[in-house]
Chain A
Amino acid sequence: MSNLTRPNRRRFLGTASAALGAAATGSLWQPGAARAATPLTVGFIYVGPKDDFGYNQSHAEGAAAVKSMEGVTVLEEENVPESQDVQNTMLSMINFDGASLLFPTSFGYFNPHILELAPKNPEVRFEHCGGLWSEGNPTNAGSYFGYIGMGQYLNGIAAGHATKSKKIGFVAAKPIPQVLNNINSFLLGARAVDPGITCQVIFTGEWSLAVKEAEATNALADQGCDVITCHVDGPKVVCETAVSRGAFVCGYHADQSPLAGDKYLTGAEWNWAAVYTDMVRKTIAGEAIPNFVRGGLADGFIKMSPLGPANSDAARKQFEAVKAEIMAGGFAAIKGPLKDNKGNVIAADGQAFVETDVALESMGYLVEGVLGSTS
């Protein structure tokens, strides 16, 4: 496919510049003018393998969508550590391949690496996933993220209907706010179906540690959890282990239905294709990309995997109803009266934290009904 399109594009550019050259003075043939005529080169950098059925794959799917756009060359590099390596990779894409728009997608790429390079490369745009950009950071850097907690809330609704043991399980990487928000949302979604449901959480301590993820999933199944979801970089191991133990699976990051088959209820997925194609389109058109971009289900930043065959009619009905409510905006998963699992009040009666509330971004608790500890 690319073998066919690339020469075509080159031929098109050749024809176009020849026409321009005939019409204009010789100055158009200067190197500067030739560079201006080359297509936009966009670089994507992933911290893990781009076919991990998870975080990195979700971004690679976004890159694939950009690849199909006219006039864009896409560069990709996977398994780039959050060390000096990523600075070198960014510089290599800029210097060797002429990239002018970069998507370094891992959370740890921002500080110090993007902050280091952005001021030295003012002609390059750095777009970072994770939502870290703040006033005072370089203006040619930007940050975007999505409210995926709502997706885990919808996962919870499907799980709440599917569980028979009234115990659901969560394999989590690290007890940090983004992960805690997902765990809490998952349980609260399930409790919207049946307030007696509990969620056992196990932290593996690492973003990608297959052996521990398998052990954690087995431990959850041993304890009777019959619906399992996760927040690790690559949910493949969790999915396959859960299915082998007969548990249902709710996906995360990307679509894992090919791994879980009939046991797949639904999944909270990133929709980077929409975000990336929009940013690239803006760049080509010369429009500015805001430095701080966020969105949820309604903005097309996240999406839900199609409901699997195991969902009951009641589950489908409630799922769709709540999804419509979230799409309408102003929905809150964390709302009073609510306590954490140590008995402290989190939200008083009538108090609610909507998905966009910044207070959620420093979340340090697990809500009542989650079995587990953040430390």
Chain B
Amino acid sequence: MDQPQPILSVRHLSTCFRTDRGVVTAVDDVSFDLFPGESLGIVGESGCGKSVTSKSIMRLLPEHLSFLRPESQILFDGMNLARADERTMREVRGNRIAMIFQEPMTALNPVFTIGWQLDEALKYHTSLGREGRRQRTIEMLRLVEIPNPEKRIREFPHQLSGGMRQRVLIAMALCCEPEILIADEPTTALDVTIQAQILRLMENLKQRLGTAIVMITHNLGVIAQTCDRVIVMYAGRIVESAPVKQLFHQPRHPYTKALLESIPRMNPGDHGQRLPSIEGIVPSLYDLPPGCRFADRCPRRQPSCVEAEPELEPVDSASLVRCFFPWE
């Protein structure tokens, strides 16, 4: 087989939370592969489990409130991160799998200069000397297109704009040259022009450094611009997985199709018209229906849909879909 080896394989990942109302499964049997140099988008609406998926991979969820089901496997470089101990995780985090957070405003420590914060990560994960780390810090800031990095390293987070801070965070995430970068809604808190800059920057960096990216977002526009492959999640489950072009041109799952249709467009004829939206609400995770989780809101629903849940099955060579009656 000349198929490349995946760098990260998630198998049957189920993340549960202990709550006052019992145990909730926020991510339910999620499996996917990430290949070197690839961008994988995870898209879905709020609460569908996309952030929990990323935090489960990094094992960032509070241990007294959550647990992974025993069948969960997160295979990375011969290790199963789902079972790894704290020491192994510390080696992996930041160094081999890095993460960018949604809020650039609060993701930097306000009492230290950005130079200090970049330096700290390098000190922890590399054996560079003081001057070497300084060089690297400046080099990274230049890479993320921050003007005047020699001066900027002495500044505090509050002296930078949101876009600048997100660039610093990207620099921090990439400074140890991780194999995987998980970006959890990296552009949500930024305004549109800055969003475009940041996305272009990430695209450039991916080309230059060969980092695999997991892009988590609810914004389909971001996915269309940056990703090679997309996973659509709904109520804790993957409902569709397809290459990005195919997903946008030929969505298979009714949810994906509805999602694409509800993107606001600027067509002259649409003026004054209501935006299309998906009727109904997401089922509560406490009280899931026995059949398809989207059945309630689905325009193609058949009586069989509410009786049993469909499996995630291949519909063609590249895509998987969880539906009894996918669009052709």
Q: Is B one of A's binding partners?
A: no
